[in-house]
Structure 1
Amino acid sequence: MDKRDKWMLAGAALAAAFAVVHMKGRQAERALPPSGRFMEVDGVRLHYLERGSGPVLVLLHGNAAMAQDYEAAGLVDRLAQRYRVIAFDRPGFGYSSRPRGRFWTVEHQAALLLKALQQLEVADGLVLGHSWGTLVAMAMARLAPGVVRGLVLVSGYYYPTVRLDAPLQAGPAVPLLGDLLRHTISPLLSRLLWPVQVWRMFSPTPVPPSFRRLPKWLSLRPLQVRASAAESAMMVPTVALMQANYAGLVLPVVLLAGRGDKMADAQHHSGRLHRELLQSELQLVDGGHMLQHFAQDEIVAAVDRVAARRPGLAFPRPRRSDMCRT
C-alpha cells in the first residue's frame, strides 16, 4: 500500500467515524428531546427546566452532564413540591449553545446565569451545584451575594491535585485538531471507555436505572465533547485561582459528599472547604460521586436546611466526631 492509499484509507475511516458520531447523536436527541424552555442571553441559547412554585432553587449540573440528569434522578419533581426549581443546561451541555471566541470560565458562566435569572425575574434564591457546577455556584454567590441566599454543594472538587486524566481529556478543546477529534475519534473512544468512567463515577454504589435511562450518546455529541474537554483542562487551574476567595463566602452552605467518591476525595475537598467556611455544614454519605442518583433524601433535606437559615446566621458547629455522620 503506497502513501496515497494510506491517506485515502485514513480519510475514509474518519468519514465513517463522522457519520457514526452524528447518526448516534441524532438518535440520542430523538430519544431524549429537550423537555424545558429556551431563552437567549448574551448570544447564548440557554435551555432550562422550570418546575414548581415557591422559593427559587437553581440547579447546576457537573461536567459531561446536563439538567435532565437531575430530572432523570427524580430530584426536579421532588424539589418542585415546595420550590420553584430552575435547572439550567450550562453553555455547551445538554441543549444549550456555547459560542466560540469566549473563554468559558466559571465567572463567565456565573455572570451569564445571573443575567438569565434576571430575565426570569428572580430576585433571590438558593443554588445547588454538583461537581463542576459547585464552582459556578460559588462564583455566582461571589458576584451577586444579594441574589444567592445559600448554597448546596454536592460532590465538589475545590483544591488542586495531580490529575493525570485532565490533560488526556483536553484534546477535543484544542482548536482545529480538537474539532477533527470531537467529530470523529473522541466520541467513539469515549463510548468504549464509558463503562469504566461510569463505574468510577458511581463506585462503590451500583449504577442505578435512573442513570441508565439517559442516552449515552447525548453526552458524546461533538458540542458537548468540546465543552467537557475544555472544563477538564480548566479544572485544576480554576480551583487554584478560586481557593483564595473561599473564606469570603458569608452565606449558609451545606456540603454533601460521598465517602467513597473516586472523582473528588470527600475529606480533601468537602472536608477542607467546610473548615474554611464559617457558615457551613458538612454531611458525608455512603457512596460515590453521583449523589443525585442515590442520595435524594439527603439532598432535599440539605436544601431545606439552607432555606431555613437566615443570612448571617451560622450553622451550629458539630463535634469533630459527628462531622461525618449521615
Structure 2
Amino acid sequence: MTWLRLAASFILLVIVLGGATWGLDTWRARQAEADYPPNGIFVDVGGQRVHMVVMGDQGPDLVLIHGASGSARDLTFALAPELAKRYRVFVPDRPGFGWSDPLPADHDTIFDQAKLLQQATLKAGARDPIVLGHSYGGSVAIAWAVTLPDTLSGLVPVSAPSQKWNSPLPLLYQITSPPLGQAIAVPLISAWTPPAIVNHEVAAVFAPQEMPKGYAQWFGPSMTLRVQTMRVNARQRADLEGEISQMIPEYPKLDLPVLSVHGDADTIVGEKIHAFPFTRQVPGAELISLPGVGHMTPQIATDAVVEAVDRVAARAKLLKDTQQNASDESTSGQMKLR
C-alpha cells in the first residue's frame, strides 16, 4: 500500500500547490490593477474594449503602438508628452495588455491587431494618423501600413522587427507559448516570480543604457505578469516571425513617408538584420541610426524619435515649416540619417 500513500501524497501536493498558485495569481493581478488603474478612455469596437491614452489638443493625429510585454504606459513615460506639444497623440493598450480586452487566440495576429487599433483610434477621433510603433508594436504598425494603406499618413517603425531572423525563440517563450506551457508554466511563473527578478529583467532591456529613473514605477511590470497577459504575450511572440514573413513581399508596394529609427547597439532587434533591409525594400524609406543606443529608443533617445515623427509629418505636408525647423535644431548632431 506504500505506493498508494505516495500517490495520494503526490495528488494532495499538486492540489495544494495548484490552489496556492491560483490564489497568489489572483491576489497579484488584483494588486497590480489597483496600483495601475485605467488612466485613459475606453473605446468599444464591436464588443471589443480598447483602452487608450489621448494627449494633446492640436496638430496632426499620431498613433503610438507599444511593444511586447508592454502597455500604453511604456510610451507615455517620456515620448508621448513630448509629441503632445504639437500632435494629437493616441496611445492604445494593444489587445490583451494594460486594460484592453484580448482578441481570440486564433484572431490575434499583427494584422488583426492593426485592424482593431485602426478602428479604435478612428472612433476616438484619429483621422489618417502617422503611425509609430516600437519593437513588436513596430511590426503591428508596419502591418497597418501594409493592410490598410489608405488609413494613415506616414509610418515610423522604431526598433521594429521587419524581417525573418536566424535565431531560436527565447527559452521563456518556448516554455510559455505551447498549450501545456500556457496551462501550467504561465500560472506558476506569474505567481512565484519575485519582484526583484522582474525589475532586473526590465532593466536589462535597456542595455547598454541604464533604465531611466522612475520608469519601472511608472510602467508597472506587474500588469504584464498577470496570467492572461503573459499568455497573450507568449503566443504573439511565438507567431511573430511567421506573420512578418507574410508582409515582406508587400514592402515594395508601400507608398507613404517612412522613416525608421534604430539603435546600432540593439541586441534584441538587430539594426542590420531588420532596419537596413527594410529601408532598402520600401521605396523612399529612410533610417535614423543612433550610435551606441540599445533597444529602448523611445525612452533613451526621445528627441531622435520626435525628430523622426516631425520629418515624416513634413514629408506628408502635415507640419508647419516653423515647427520642423525647431525640431531640426533641437536634435542636430545626435543621429545619422541613412
- Residue 123 of structure 1: CA displacement? 2.7
- Residue 71 of structure 1: CA displacement? 1.3
The partner residue of 1:61 within 53, 66, 85 is 66
The partner residue of 1:281 within 271, 286, 290 is 286
Is residue 2:311 matched to residue 1:305?
Answer: yes
Aligned-residue Cα RMSD (Å) equals 2.4
The answer on whether the counterparts of 2:159 and 2:269 sit within 8 Å (CA) in structure 1 is: yes
- Residue 80 of structure 1: CA displacement? 0.8
Is residue 2:99 matched to residue 1:104?
Answer: no
Identical aligned residues as a percent? 32
For 1:184-199, what aligned pairs fall within 5 Å after superposition?
A: 184-186=188-190, 188-189=192-193, 194=198, 197-199=201-203
Of 170-179 and 271-280, deviating more is: 170-179
Question: Residue 163 and residue 192 in structure 1: after superposition, are their counterparts in 2 closer, same or farther (change >3 A)?
Answer: farther
- Residue 251 of structure 1: CA displacement? 1.0
Of 118-127 and 213-222, deviating more is: 118-127
- Residue 188 of structure 1: CA displacement? 3.4
- Residue 191 of structure 1: CA displacement? 5.7
The partner residue of 1:209 within 210, 213, 221 is 213
Deviations 1:259-280 (A, max 9, x none): 1111111111111111112221
Structure 2, unaligned runs of 5 or more: 318-334
SS of 1:20's partner is helix
The answer on whether the counterparts of 1:38 and 1:47 sit within 8 Å (CA) in structure 2 is: yes
Cα distance in 1 between the residues matched to 2:196 and 2:247: 34
Q: How many residues align?
A: 315
TM-score (norm 2): 0.86
SS of 2:238's partner is helix
Rg (Cα) greater in structure: 2
Instruction: Tell me the residue number matched to 1:132.
Output: 136
- Residue 216 of structure 1: CA displacement? 2.3
Instruction: Tell me the residue number matched to 1:317.
Output: none
Instruction: Tell me the residue number matched to 2:322.
Output: none
Is residue 2:233 matched to residue 1:228?
Answer: yes
Question: Residue 170 and residue 189 in structure 1: after superposition, are their counterparts in 2 closer, same or farther (change >3 A)?
Answer: farther
The residue identity in structure 2 corresponding to 1:201 is V
Deviations 1:85-124 (A, max 9, x none): 0001011011101143542111111111222233234331
Cα distance in 2 between the residues matched to 1:177 and 1:282: 38
The residue identity in structure 2 corresponding to 1:309 is R
Is residue 2:312 matched to residue 1:290?
Answer: no
TM-score (norm 1): 0.89
- Residue 128 of structure 1: CA displacement? 0.5
The answer on whether the counterparts of 1:14 and 1:185 sit within 8 Å (CA) in structure 2 is: no
Instruction: Tell me the residue number matched to 2:324.
Output: none
Cα distance in 1 between the residues matched to 2:194 and 2:283: 40
Of 239-248 and 61-70, deviating more is: 239-248
The answer on whether the counterparts of 1:247 and 1:277 sit within 8 Å (CA) in structure 2 is: yes
Instruction: Tell me the residue number matched to 2:320.
Output: none
The answer on whether the counterparts of 1:201 and 1:262 sit within 8 Å (CA) in structure 2 is: no
Instruction: Tell me the residue number matched to 1:51.
Output: 55
Instruction: Tell me the residue number matched to 1:163.
Output: 167
Cα distance in 1 between the residues matched to 2:282 and 2:55: 31
Of 209-218 and 178-187, deviating more is: 178-187
For 1:9-24, what aligned pairs fall within 5 Å after superposition?
A: 9-24=13-28
Is residue 2:265 matched to residue 1:267?
Answer: no
Instruction: Tell me the residue number matched to 1:31.
Output: 35
Is residue 2:120 matched to residue 1:123?
Answer: no
Instruction: Tell me the residue number matched to 1:241.
Output: 246
Structure 1, unaligned runs of 5 or more: 312-322
